[in-house]
Structure 1
Amino acid sequence: MRHISSGHVADSSVIADDATITNVNDQKIDSSNSNIEKLEKESANKIESEETQYGSQSVSTTPVELEPHEDPKNMSPFRKWVAVVVISSASLCATCASSMAASAETGESRDFHVSKIVTILGISLYVEGLGCGPLLLGPLSEFFGRTPIYLTSYLFFFAFSFPVAFAPNIAVFLVFRFLTGFSSAAFLSVAGGSVSDLFTNDKVANPMAFYTISPFAGPVIGPLISGFINQNVSWRWTYYVLIIWIFVELVALYLFVPETYAPVLLKKKSRRLRRLNGLPEPEEVGKKAILHAIALSCYKPFELLLFDRMALLLDLWSALILGILYLAFQAFPIIFGEHHGFSSGLQGCSFLGIGIGLVLGTATQPFWNRLYKEYTIEHDGHPPPEMRLLMGMPGGILVSLGLFIIAFTTFPGVHWIGPIIGSIPFGTGIILVYTAVFTYLVTAYRPIAASAMAANSALRSAFAAAFPLFAPAMYHRLGTVGATALLGGLTTIMAPLPFIFYKYGPRIRQKSKYAMS
């Protein structure tokens, strides 16, 4: 494992005041820099002394290297997997909290004396917080490390959950639902980096797949948990249980998740060595540098959405699918509750089909990994980014197929198992589409990968926040068949995108000022 200094602030790239590193296997460095070329030939964990510019501030770096026992990738497999499990469960908790509110809406509407639509804002505002949080927390993690961001954000998540659980009125409830979503968003923007910090490129696929399923499984598990809670006790117990879960996760994060971000580890080591040798501390990164990075992380994603059509279309596709998933939290109670007479708890169980589909989609990852390795060999180790879109091809078809099966099995006279069976290919398609889109964006837009993912996250959150609000009206006016078929038609229109970009992607990237040509 080799690390070299980078010194760029843009796009949430790796930043540190004493030393900055980048995985050489993942990123191409300017070949004109002879010092870096020399470093690439030397042994592991080398850091070059250089001047790093943070706006108008200059920070001197110090030669320092990580010893093998200090490298997170050299931790024992057991310890690494414990960290992955804790990070994944914390991510599961954060996303599960978004949909747990769905089953509590009836009780909230009754106690707060508001309409059902107003209580749906509890989901929408939380999801909007999940979309806004990474714009701030992502850049901060580059300066302060991953673990401090995890602990701080989860502490706020824990604290803000109390006003939600004990809210005296709907205003307090909704404000703090947004704040809990915002504070829990670190696990959607930073956690993937922790997993990649712990494993080498040839071993990261399985732990990354394990982590990747948690943000999607969370919204599916949420109604299952809260459904039975609200069936037997007050809706507030939904949030009491959530508070207990958050506390357990907070303790586990503190005990089992070490700092894995190499620039921060190098920075701490450099400071320790300076103190031991009586050397002066380097000038700290100023507030202007941090504010600049945050401003850039807020601006660049929307610039990409406005001026790059390929990124916009892929982001719209993934946003539409997530919007439909969150719309299901309002649609399934209509399909299974009103038409089939399911209780609140059984309505939560109706999401198990989507969960099974997610698991099946994740189980196909070894096949896609082998296929990608074959393409890598065929292209001398440098396959085009479009290879990542291959799994999106069946994924898009399965999403549309699942929705049409759900649509035409929602008649009251049709057995309730029909829509649940239809939700299985829908869930499988979700994981395939998202894996394809995420990996393609990171690969094709590597110079601004953080901004590309932030743009995707912002658009997905906007759709996921909006769709539940119009779901009840749409399903009652169009009927379950017409409304679900309409959604299936929209996804069918978007399904050809991976086929189109697989063929024309290289030509489009050559004309783009953001993508790699």
Structure 2
Amino acid sequence: MPSGSSDTLPQLVLEVDEATERFAGDAPDLSSPTHHHNCEHSEGSAATLAHEHDDDPQSAAHHSETEHTKKLDQPEDPNRVGWLPDDPENPKSWSSSYRWFLTIFCGLLTINATFASSAPSSGTEAIVKHFDVSLEAATLVTSLFLFGYVAGPLIWAPLSELIGRRPVFIGTMTAYTLFQLGQALPQTNFTTLLVIRFLSGLCASAPLTNCGGLIADIWEPYRRSNAISLFTAAAFIGPVLGPIVASFVTESYLGFRWIFWIMMILGGTFLVFIIFCLPETYAPVLLARRAKRRRAAENRSELYADHERADFSVSGILQRTILRPFKMLASEPILVLVTIYTSIVYGLLYALFEAFPIIWGDLRGFTNTQVGLLFIGVGIGTTIGAFVSIFLQRPLKELVPKWHGHPPCEIHLRAAMLAGPFLIIGVFWLGWTGAYPTVPWYVPALSTVCLGASFTLVFISSQAYLIDVYLMYSASALAANTICRSSLGAAFPLFTRQMFNGLGVQWAATLIGGVSLLISPSPFIFYKYGARIRMRSKFAPSLDVQMKARVEAEERGRKIGGSNEPEKVV
């Protein structure tokens, strides 16, 4: 673990913050394995901090401190291109209104991408009849799309680190739109449909990956919480809207093919907006462009940007995007339990798409459209969860200056601690009231509000916690989390219907609720013992633990009338 005196600790914090801005600054579903590099401070060693210490993660922060000490004795490299104070080209210096426009646009892109994952689930029966396939085979239309979510982040995130966010947005949205055309055409057979669905999911994962990175590009860490809440809510609103819209389309004269036509129209519309409204926000690429312009204008070949000297070799990219996430998953108990928890929640969300038709369609005789409308309850719960999360994060603003930018990571777990019991209650409520047709339909429907709120709270809480725990390595932690939860989300629809039909609605829900009950204490355990666990980790810098002595000293100073005031975060 890094070590240092109270004098060197603030500099260590600064250096690790810079590395965090590059490798660990993204949002809760945020699933991007790559982040931007903050060039507003001295950043020589931080730019390659996570690359240079892949084999010895424990020494990364210590190396950062050593390098900064060296730089104190050496002048700033005059040939290195960086941001100026309040630089208008720095995305973090853009107006708040424009940054919120980009944040909301990212939310809409996320809704579009996740809408496509669940929309065909309302057309499952129509797909079975049209292609003359089994119900299990038709379920692959949803599952293979989600398997595209597993592979996509490993491609688009390092590519956006290499060439920037904007080209990846444009390229993937173009391909995504064309793939929808392939699904909509009547000539497409079932095998081709499945292949295209996987490729569509592969492309649709780019907004999930890059929107989180874009939010990290434009917002400072201590101002990012509301944007993260909006982004996470969007990631759940999309899957909820899918069955609602698709159920109306499927039962109309248009037929299930128009689900894909609608997705193509939406994809084309968003592509136009991306081309004309979405700028490049990835700071290292912007600085590399500035360096290139200055070299040409000033005829100074020695000018450079850090991005131009970064390690983009195949081995370096593989280490960051594939090897390190699995190394962490094999050795980090915090990451393992948080990943299990979020994977269960994500799988449960997609299990609902198969369970709702059984509970309200088979048992109560609801039409496909009526079943789709019941997802409104999940959407309402998701929205409530986002607002509750914002409320729970308000005390964090007061703690940031007190802890000099690094309050205890476990504060983020309060939302998950609140959500855990509601998740369990919601699952049992849905199962044991939904199993009996004599129970009014609205009684199990109300449970979906409870489930939707808990989904959002668990995700926002867990993603924020992983980011703060692993800092410059949180990109790898989030990548591991994304791979596991997307895999489980893809697997759940494949056996949900069989499980509910075989065990019965109430006992299938009891099984899911029992697993949720077993894992639900993990936020409480980490809230109490998380700091001790992090101190034994090779990947968690635990800056808040090291900052604790300084904070306590300042508290004692203020009590006896001293002048030690917490530094303002600017």
Query: Shared fold (TM-score greater than 0.5)?
Result: yes
Return the letter of the residue paired with 1:277.
Answer: E
| Equivalent pair of 1:86/1:256 in contact (CA under 8 Å) | no
| Residues 371, 287 of structure 1: alpha-carbon distance in 2 compared, 3 angstrom cutoff | closer
The CA distance in 2 between the partners of 1:94 and 1:134, in whole Å, is 14
Return the letter of the residue paired with 1:105.
Answer: T
* SS of equivalent residue, structure 1 residue 238: helix
The CA distance in 2 between the partners of 1:114 and 1:340, in whole Å, is 26
Q: Does 1:118 align with 2:147?
A: no
Return the letter of the residue paired with 1:227.
Answer: S
1:338 matched to which residue of 2?
A: 362
Q: Does 1:178 align with 2:203?
A: no
| Residues 510, 79 of structure 1: alpha-carbon distance in 2 compared, 3 angstrom cutoff | closer
The CA distance in 2 between the partners of 1:380 and 1:14, in whole Å, is 22
By how many angstroms is 1:15 displaced? 7.0
| Equivalent pair of 1:15/1:142 in contact (CA under 8 Å) | no
* SS of equivalent residue, structure 1 residue 412: coil
2:530 matched to which residue of 1?
A: 505
- Note the 1:130-149 alignment, pairs <5 A: 130-149=149-168
Q: Does 1:31 align with 2:52?
A: no
Alignment counterpart, residue 446 of structure 2, candidates 395, 410, 421: 421
1:491 matched to which residue of 2?
A: 516
1:470 matched to which residue of 2?
A: 495
Alignment counterpart, residue 337 of structure 2, candidates 310, 313, 319: 313
By how many angstroms is 1:310 displaced? 2.2
The CA distance in 1 between the partners of 2:309 and 2:404, in whole Å, is 41
By how many angstroms is 1:198 displaced? 2.1
Return the letter of the residue paired with 2:131.
Answer: F
The CA distance in 2 between the partners of 1:378 and 1:268, in whole Å, is 38
Return the letter of the residue paired with 1:415.
Answer: P
2:4 matched to which residue of 1?
A: none
By how many angstroms is 1:37 displaced? 6.2
Alignment counterpart, residue 400 of structure 1, candidates 395, 410, 424: 424
| Equivalent pair of 2:351/2:492 in contact (CA under 8 Å) | yes
The CA distance in 2 between the partners of 1:506 and 1:122, in whole Å, is 43
Q: Does 1:107 align with 2:107?
A: no
* SS of equivalent residue, structure 2 residue 539: coil
Measured against aligned partners, the alpha-carbon deviations of 1:415-444 in whole angstroms (never above 9, x if no partner) come to 110111111111111111111111111111
By how many angstroms is 1:205 displaced? 2.7
1:302 matched to which residue of 2?
A: 326
By how many angstroms is 1:343 displaced? 1.2
Return the letter of the residue paired with 2:357.
Answer: P
Measured against aligned partners, the alpha-carbon deviations of 1:201-226 in whole angstroms (never above 9, x if no partner) come to 45433233222211111111110010
- Note the 1:271-286 alignment, pairs <5 A: 271-280=292-301
* SS of equivalent residue, structure 1 residue 226: helix
| Equivalent pair of 1:31/1:37 in contact (CA under 8 Å) | no
- Note the 1:447-458 alignment, pairs <5 A: 447-458=472-483
1:57 matched to which residue of 2?
A: none
| Residues 15, 428 of structure 1: alpha-carbon distance in 2 compared, 3 angstrom cutoff | closer
| Equivalent pair of 1:9/1:293 in contact (CA under 8 Å) | no
- Note the 1:32-431 alignment, pairs <5 A: 32-34=66-68, 49=77, 62-66=80-84, 68-166=87-185, 168-232=188-252, 233-280=254-301, 289-290=313-314, 292-376=316-400, 379=403, 381-410=405-434, 411-431=436-456
| Residues 14, 82 of structure 1: alpha-carbon distance in 2 compared, 3 angstrom cutoff | closer
| Equivalent pair of 1:331/1:472 in contact (CA under 8 Å) | yes
In the comparison of the two structures, how many residue pairs are matched?
A: 496
The CA distance in 2 between the partners of 1:296 and 1:73, in whole Å, is 25
The CA distance in 1 between the partners of 2:19 and 2:295, in whole Å, is 21
The answer to which structure, 1 or 2, has the higher relative contact order (CA under 8 A, 6+ apart) is 2
By how many angstroms is 1:122 displaced? 0.9
- Note the 1:428-443 alignment, pairs <5 A: 428-443=453-468
The CA distance in 2 between the partners of 1:485 and 1:273, in whole Å, is 64
| Equivalent pair of 1:16/1:143 in contact (CA under 8 Å) | no
The CA distance in 1 between the partners of 2:446 and 2:70, in whole Å, is 55
Q: Comparing 279-288 with 235-244, which one deviates more in the overlay?
A: 279-288
The CA distance in 1 between the partners of 2:539 and 2:312, in whole Å, is 26
TM-score (structure 2 length as normaliser): 0.81
* SS of equivalent residue, structure 2 residue 144: helix
The CA distance in 2 between the partners of 1:14 and 1:79, in whole Å, is 19
| Residues 287, 177 of structure 1: alpha-carbon distance in 2 compared, 3 angstrom cutoff | farther
For the aligned residue pairs, the C-alpha RMSD in angstroms reads 3.0
| Residues 222, 65 of structure 1: alpha-carbon distance in 2 compared, 3 angstrom cutoff | same
TM-score (structure 1 length as normaliser): 0.88
| Equivalent pair of 1:198/1:260 in contact (CA under 8 Å) | yes
| Residues 412, 298 of structure 1: alpha-carbon distance in 2 compared, 3 angstrom cutoff | same
Q: Comparing 71-80 with 286-295, which one deviates more in the overlay?
A: 286-295
The CA distance in 2 between the partners of 1:87 and 1:39, in whole Å, is 43
Q: Which consecutive unaligned segments of at least 5 residues does structure 1 have?
A: 43-47, 51-60
Return the letter of the residue paired with 1:268.
Answer: R
By how many angstroms is 1:509 displaced? 1.4
By how many angstroms is 1:475 displaced? 0.8
1:58 matched to which residue of 2?
A: none
Measured against aligned partners, the alpha-carbon deviations of 1:288-345 in whole angstroms (never above 9, x if no partner) come to 6155314530121122112222211110110011101101100001111111211111
| Equivalent pair of 2:83/2:90 in contact (CA under 8 Å) | no
The CA distance in 2 between the partners of 1:68 and 1:373, in whole Å, is 25
Return the letter of the residue paired with 1:500.
Answer: I
| Equivalent pair of 1:86/1:253 in contact (CA under 8 Å) | no
Task: Name the % identity.
Answer: 32
